[in-house]
Structure 1
Amino acid sequence: MGTDYVHGYTPAETRRLADQAGTLADLLHGGTTYPAGSRVLEAGCGVGAQTVQLVTRSPGIELVSVDVSEESLAQAKARVAVHAPEATVDWRHADLHDLRDEKFDHVFVCFVLEHLVDPGKALVGLRDLLKPGGTITVIEGDHGSAIYHPRSTQAQAAVDCLVDLQAEAGGDSLIGRRLQPLLEQAGYDDVHVEPRTVYADETLPELVDGFTRKTFIAMVESVRERSIAAGRRTEAEWDAGIRDLEKTAEPGGTFHYTFFKGVGRT
């Protein structure tokens, strides 16, 4: 079901995911809580950055967290043990198709569809795992929504490398803009999608550091070697693009990005 994880399974990427989850916790998880006793599936838990938010915001849920990477699952277990030691999570090393005989009250999917070759098929499969009246919550970004100052063609070329490489790997880093039709076409009812916007400038230093630097720029930097090896940018061009992107996190710089959060029912 999946595709090549374009950011790589590296310590730097693990730190980036943790920084992202912590910085954007209220923005992304606001409005999402599940009643105690609910059986919840976290589809694609990765290193557990979002798992911590789920178990702390909805204590008492029966959470099943699934991922195809054994290494990521090990990190997720360790993260939850430190940050939510009271939580009980049923960890599964599995593809989503392996859960076909199970049923859940709710499904939570965050930053997963963008990496799938066929996200629509994945959503249909997840719908089949939901009990009648169950809900799915999906959160995705859209790199095309990045608006920043000062504007730079070199910086934009670096961002475009990430978008293009993810597309070549079978994913879609612009998927946020099509979340509503994907959910509708997968057969969900009462679909509602809303933007969750993050904006950072020097008056918001926590967002500048946590999002602009440690989330977005770090994400772009994760494809440096791939971009250069593929001949998309020379080393000098890449470094110039990152330098220009870093100016958006300096005094006088600004950065804007939109996530999309969708909810549907069965």
Structure 2
Amino acid sequence: MDTTTAYGGYVHGYSGREARRLGDQADALAELLHGGTRYAAGSRVLEVGCGVGAQTVHLAARSPGAHLTAVDVSGESLAQARARVAAACPGARVDWVRADVFDLPFGDGVFDHVFVCFVLEHLRDPEGALAAVRRVLRPGGTLTVIEGDHGSAFLHPDSADARSVIGHLVALQAAAGGDALVGRRLWRLLDGAGFGGAVVSPRTVFADGSRPDLMRAFTLDTFTAMVEGVGDEAVAAGLCTRAEWERGVAGLRRAAGEGGAFCYTFFKAVAVRGG
């Protein structure tokens, strides 16, 4: 397979602001996303698409005796991930490997567990990536996949402008070769890649005035910041005017303010590789 056609563009970019947003998101949602995921001491765990290490920190903290291997296609992201984990989890056992998910430089069945978070949404061929991951997972080993679904977002006060800019982000990601709605497809993708018996569970985050810290950390600093970050691309693509974009972002900000509420659903799948 020509792997150059398998990756979509990362529409959020690689700025320092985006790295901070990824860290904010991982920290705010650590229990929601990582709850139930712990690996035994001595187990060999592969994290595919570790990026800047935002999730690696939580994997290392929750499974301190595991031996982690973190893979990403970007050398710059790996350097940031290494520094982040060294600061947050000194002594963590992590091997850092620059590699392509479609051409992993490991033997068959060498890992006990594989963890994939917020990666499939950026790939043109997510099922092919899962099949490539299956090769390096031992029979009986587990695969955990976490993805979002922007179609699951709703807010109060409701705002047609806010819903429009979320839709523009979905369209931009689709144009780049990804799928911001991939969460709803996890079971089918896993089944197609040879993982029978996968179990998919919704992980819903709801923030309102009773959860002001979560309102700030997720609604404002994670989701709204993500949407704001692609405004220039949306306007340049002719999806909306600058004024329309700003009205949409303002609607999201109102949902993060006094009297507002925001809800979003992630999907977490766990599968076991058969023989």
Place the TM-score, normalised by the shorter chain, in its bin: over 0.9
Q: Which residue type is aligned with residue 243 of structure 2?
A: A
Instruction: Tell me what 1:211 maps to.
Output: 218
5 Å-filtered alignment, 1:83-232, equals: 83-96=88-101, 97-102=103-108, 103-232=110-239
Shift of residue 189, structure 1, vs aligned partner? 3.0
The reply on whether 1:19 has 2:17 as its aligned counterpart is no
Deviation by residue 1:128-156 (Cα, 9 ceiling, x = unmatched): 11111011000000000001111111111
Q: Which residue type is aligned with residue 202 of structure 1?
A: G
Shift of residue 122, structure 1, vs aligned partner? 0.5
The answer to whether the 8 A contact 2:104-2:132 is kept is no
Measure the CA separation in 2 of the matches of 1:147 and 1:19. 21
- After alignment, is 179-188 or 140-149 more displaced? 179-188
Q: Which residue type is aligned with residue 98 of structure 1?
A: L
Match of 1:73 among 71, 75, 78: 78
Give percent identity, aligned residues only: 59
Measure the CA separation in 2 of the matches of 1:2 and 1:83. 30
Shift of residue 99, structure 1, vs aligned partner? 2.3
Q: Which residue type is aligned with residue 220 of structure 2?
A: R
Shift of residue 190, structure 1, vs aligned partner? 2.6
Instruction: Tell me what 2:256 maps to.
Output: 249
> Where does the alignment leave 5 or more consecutive residues of structure 2 unmatched?
1-5
The answer to whether the 8 A contact 2:111-2:138 is kept is yes
SS of equivalent to 2:168: helix
SS of equivalent to 1:128: helix
Deviation by residue 1:209-260 (Cα, 9 ceiling, x = unmatched): 0100011101111111101111111111111111111000111111000000
Q: Which residue type is aligned with residue 75 of structure 1?
A: Q
The reply on whether 1:263 has 2:236 as its aligned counterpart is no
Measure the CA separation in 1 of the matches of 2:104 and 2:196. 25
The answer to whether the 8 A contact 1:23-1:210 is kept is yes
Deviation by residue 1:153-210 (Cα, 9 ceiling, x = unmatched): 1111111111000001110000001111111121113310000000000110011001
With structure 2 as the length reference, what TM-score do the two structures score?
A: 0.95
- Calculate the aligned-residue CA RMSD, in Å: 0.9
Q: Which residue type is aligned with residue 91 of structure 1?
A: W
> Where does the alignment leave 5 or more consecutive residues of structure 1 unmatched?
none
Measure the CA separation in 2 of the matches of 1:53 and 1:212. 21
Shift of residue 100, structure 1, vs aligned partner? 4.6
Measure the CA separation in 2 of the matches of 1:229 and 1:138. 33
Measure the CA separation in 2 of the matches of 1:145 and 1:110. 18
Deviation by residue 1:11-37 (Cα, 9 ceiling, x = unmatched): 111111000000000000000000011
- After alignment, is 188-197 or 34-43 more displaced? 188-197
Instruction: Tell me what 2:41 maps to.
Output: 36
Instruction: Tell me what 1:6 maps to.
Output: 11
Measure the CA separation in 2 of the matches of 1:181 and 1:232. 30
Q: Which residue type is aligned with residue 105 of structure 2?
A: L
Measure the CA separation in 1 of the matches of 2:210 and 2:63. 32
Q: Which residue type is aligned with residue 171 of structure 1?
A: G
The answer to whether the 8 A contact 1:99-1:129 is kept is no
The answer to whether the 8 A contact 1:140-1:259 is kept is yes
Q: Which residue type is aligned with residue 11 of structure 1?
A: G
- Structure 1 runs, 4 residues or longer, greater than 6 Å off: none
With structure 1 as the length reference, what TM-score do the two structures score?
A: 0.98
Measure the CA separation in 2 of the matches of 1:132 and 1:241. 48
